[in-house]
Structure 1
Amino acid sequence: MPTTLIAFLGACTLVAASPGPSTVLIIKQSLHSRRSGFLTVLGNETGVFIWGVVAAFGLTALLTASEVAYDVMRIVGAVVLVGFGLQTLRHARRTKQAAGAEGAQGAEEPVWEGTRKGDWASYRGGLLLNLANPKAAVFALSFLPQFVPQGAPHLPAMVGLAALWAVYEVGYYGLYVWFVGRMKTVLSRAGVRRRLEQVSGGVLLLLGVRMALDS
């Protein structure tokens, strides 16, 4: 059992370390505030747990068996990603315009206290991005059963592993939020923050297009 647990946590680390849409969104939201970034993490991990529970009941097998169901979710996920990307790029442009207006008035460059999304919007963004990704559902179905201890009841073990996976990733992605917060002095400069938002918006947009074209 301890060996299985260590192997499971090691696999969770590799999964979390793989860059993806959730990582980009968490970093982007952390540029606003640690609170916003952490709530995005909680939303994302709620989605991880939901997909784990769905996989435990075997419902995600429907996605692998039905090409139509998978394609519908894939298109929905692509639309969500493109929407997040465009929203981020628009916000970066507004930040640039606001900085230009401040500069014309002779004011100092604005810092960290810019536009701040509500708590629910941050949580909802992380949750929606995860639930709209059909690959997350299929991955949970193939990932979790590998670590169910031999002889253990399948359903409770799968749900328990899903909960452990989500809690572990809260801690892992929390480090991202903490690191961005530690870099606050540099990242709070309007120019730096705008460039990071432009990059993250572009990445989310490209990921959305890639998901739409993926078969």
Structure 2
Amino acid sequence: MTLTQAVLSFAVVAGLLTLVPGIDTALVLRSSITRSRGYAFSTALGISTGAMVWGVAAAVGVSALLAASELAYRILTLAGAAYMVWLGVSLLWKSRAKAGPGAGVPAAATVPAAGNGQLVRGWATGAGTNLLNPKVGVFYIATIPQFIPAGSSPLLMGVVLAGVHCLLTMAWFTLLIFGSQLASKWLKGQRSMRIVDRITGTVLVGFGLKLAATPGH
């Protein structure tokens, strides 16, 4: 397998994975609909950062430790599950607060531009969600070795392949963000924002509970 063949083959696998709706997609859509375009891109960039860290970790063997150590995997799994549930409950509580007295008067919600602090928060949310999901690490440790040509540097290939995945992810998220922005006048009403928060919160809580209930790897 040549370097070009390895990169193209991995791109097909990573591209298909990127298109499958999951927690990352829910977070980016929610950020785009209820926050701002800048916040959504920050969240997407955080998710890509987490993927890059996992890719490099897989290349240097950190993810191999997770694959081999039941305890390490379980600790990270529970930490990730707790983080997901906390995010989900926060969104559900926020949607409940929005539905309170005086919350639904405007026909459309005004979404202010994200400041630097908000952009950092969006990035941290995306990165934290990805980094605390050990299944991302397991995916990389299971796939990256299959696409390393003989004689190539595992670390360099890990960076290259993770970079390819990040580029595909950002391209897909860009389409989602701009697509949701086109429909913003229908999606940014108070009622729509509560529904988005509740759906995203429920997905996060469900994902977290499922992650916590996973017996092992």
The normalised TM-score by structure 2 is 0.90
Q: CA RMSD in A?
A: 1.9
Is residue 102–residue 109 contact of structure 1 (8 Å, CA) maintained in 2?
A: no
Question: What are the ranges of 5 or more consecutive residues in structure 1 without an aligned counterpart?
Answer: none
Q: Is 1:26 matched with 2:28?
A: yes
After superposition, where does 1:13-92 map in structure 2 within 5 Å?
Answer: 13-31=15-33, 32-92=35-95
Preserved contact between residue 40 and residue 122 of structure 2 (Cα < 8 Å):
yes
Aligned to 1:11: 13
Question: How big is the shift at 1:152?
Answer: 2.2
Verify the 8 A CA contact 1:47 1:127 in the aligned structure 2.
yes
- State the AA in 2 paired with 1:109: A
- Map 1:165-204 onto structure 2 (within 5 A): 165-204=165-204
Q: Find the residue that maps to 2:149 and give its secondary structure.
A: coil
2:162 aligned with 1:152: no
| Structure 2 equivalent of residue 208 of structure 1 | 208
- How far has the Cα of 1:190 moved from its partner? 1.0
Provide the rounded CA distance (Å) in 1 between the counterparts of 2:60 and 2:46.
22
Shift of 1:114: 6.7
Q: State the 1:94 CA deviation.
A: 2.0
Equivalent AA in structure 2 for residue 65 of structure 1: A
Equivalenced residue count is 210
How many percent of aligned residue pairs carry the same amino acid?
A: 29
Aligned position for 2:134: 134
Match of 1:109 in 2: 107
Tell me the secondary structure at the aligned position of residue 60 of structure 1. helix
More divergent stretch after superposition (146-155 vs 56-65): 146-155
Q: Which secondary structure state, in structure 2, belongs to the residue aligned with residue 45 of structure 1?
A: helix
> Equivalents in 1 of 2:108, 2:134: separation in Å?
39
Aligned to 1:94: 97
- Matched to 1:120, the amino acid is V
Alignment partners' CA distance in 2, 1:102 and 1:47:
35
CA drift at 1:150: 3.4
Q: Deviations over 1:159-186 (max 9, x none)?
A: 2111222122111112111111111010
1:44 and 1:168 map into 2 onto residues whose CA distance is: 12
Letter in 2 for 1:130: N
Listed as ranges, the gaps of 5+ residues in structure 2 are none
The verdict on how the C-alpha distance between 1:102 and 1:70 changes in structure 2, with shifts beyond 3 A counting, is: closer
Is the Cα contact below 8 Å between 1:112 and 1:184 reproduced in 2? no
Q: Which secondary structure does the structure 2 equivalent of 1:70 belong to?
A: helix
